[in-house]
Amino acid sequence: VPMQVRVLRHIRKRYGCPGSTHAPVTAALPPQPLPKSNASADFLAMLLTTKYVDGLPLARFEKVLARHGVPVPRQTLARWVIGTARLLQPLHNLVRDALFDSGVIHMDETVVQVLKEANRTA
């Protein structure tokens, strides 16, 4: 099944008093992870998974979305990544504190040459 992007349209009812004695009342929006954004929590999860788990740069993900008929500028994708990181910061702090409270930290310190350097094999 190829990737599908859907637009969810929220119709908010607006109620007013027939006698105009009270101001009109509009129904509240459903909770959004990033206020004033049209990115859902599902899309943000896919964006972070694509960027950090699959290692796909935002420029390429922008092209993938455009190919599926959803033109989202790279700057908007970057803003959504930053906004989601701010939302997840408290969770990151809890994981970091739990890690530092443990007696042993397992690390893989394998050296990997990323760039071609002088006097070293690639």
Q: Give domain limits for the chain.
A: 36-99
Average pLDDT estimate for 4-9: 83
Confidence of residue 122 (pLDDT cuts 50, 70, 90): low
Dihedral (CA of 42, 46, 47, 49) sign: positive
The residues, any chain, with a CB within 8 Å of residue 78's CB and separated by 6 or more, are 58
Q: Which one, of 102, 14, 83, 100, lies nearest residue 43 by Cα?
A: 83
pLDDT of residue 95: 94
More confident residue, 4 or 100: 100
Using the predicted structure, report yes or no on whether residue 80 has a pLDDT greater than 90.
Answer: yes
More confident residue, 17 or 64: 64
Using the predicted structure, report yes or no on whether residue 29 has a pLDDT greater than 90.
Answer: no
Mean pLDDT of the chain: 89
In tens, the pLDDT along 31-76 reads 889 988 889 999 999 999 999 999 999 999 999 999 988 999 999 9
Average pLDDT estimate for 100-117: 82
H helices present in the chain, as ranges: 41-48, 58-67, 74-101
CA dist 49 and 64 (Å) reads 14
The residue with tokens 């964006």 is 47
**DSSP classification of residue 30:** P
